[in-house]
Amino acid sequence: MSTRTFVIVVTLLSALLAGTVVGGYLIWSRTDQGGTAMIGGPFTLVDQTGRTVTQDTLKGQWSLVYFGYTYCPDVCPTSLSVMTFALEALPQAVAAKITPVFVSVDPERDTVQQLALYHQSFHPSFLMLTGTPEQVREAAKAYRVYYRKAENDSATEYLMDHSSITYLMDPKGNYVTHFGHDVTADGMAETLKKTVGG
């Protein structure tokens, strides 16, 4: 194993562990008086077509929300593939009620054009969102998402450490549940069928 490969593997494992621990802490440490997790809130971003998308765009639909980046070598494409396969496994009437959402934590590289290319690899109903660094920060803050650029000498070739959690939000924008990185497509589909189609 080369030094570069070793560094990438260690960074990915560290990011996954940090994301699981930090993500879990942020979910359960931020609750309202009724014990409901305070996940979600106002944001303004743009999708892969250049259209402005806000939290109100998602109102009326269930949504699966995941934060990552298109240059992610493993964790992100795996999570988005799980979402894709889960939606494909659902009855069409149930899948039509759910909007999968990918929010980039790497706005410097994830332009509208880059997201449009990435979109081709996953479910066609995906909203893929980016924005200014400040807009992305506000969205990540609303969803209690951890991310940071991994230390690297290159301005264009770097990894992002980030939590790997998929949130299920109801049609009013309220947090319902979340899926960890270890969820299977079948497991996610079963939960969605019971929650959304029930």
Q: Is residue 16 predicted with pLDDT exceeding 80? A: no
Q: What is the pTM of this model?
A: 0.82
C-alpha 97/C-alpha 124 separation (Å) is 14
Strands 52-54 and 44-46: antiparallel
Which of 3-7, 47-51, 91-95, 127-131 bottoms out in mean pLDDT, i.e. has the lowest?
3-7
Q: Shortest CA distance to 175 belongs to which of 27, 56, 75, 47?
A: 27
Q: Is residue 131 predicted with pLDDT exceeding 70? A: yes
Reduced to 3 states, what is the DSSP secondary structure of residue 177? strand
Q: Is residue 61 predicted with pLDDT exceeding 70? A: yes
Q: Is residue 147 predicted with pLDDT exceeding 60? A: yes
Match 């803050």 to its residue by tokens: 141
- Residue 110 has what pLDDT? 97
Q: Shortest CA distance to 188 belongs to which of 57, 81, 40?
A: 81
- Residue 11 has what pLDDT? 39
- Residue 180 has what pLDDT? 93
Q: Is residue 23 predicted with pLDDT exceeding 90? A: no
Q: Is residue 71 predicted with pLDDT exceeding 50? A: yes
Higher pLDDT, 61 or 4: 61
Query: Could you tell me which residues come within 8 angstroms of residue 180 by beta carbon, excluding any fewer than 6 positions away?
Result: 20, 164, 165
The answer to whether the annotation marks 162 as part of a ligand binding site is yes
Domains, the chain: 3-196 (3.40.30.10)
The answer to whether the annotation marks 181 as part of a ligand binding site is no
Q: Is residue 20 predicted with pLDDT exceeding 80? A: no
- Residue 37 has what pLDDT? 66
Distances (CA, A) of 186 to 40, 76, 179, 183, 190: 25, 18, 12, 8, 6
The answer to whether the annotation marks 178 as part of a ligand binding site is no
What is the average pLDDT value for the chain, to the nearest integer? Answer: 85
Q: pLDDT tens digits, residue range 180-197?
A: 989 999 999 999 999 998
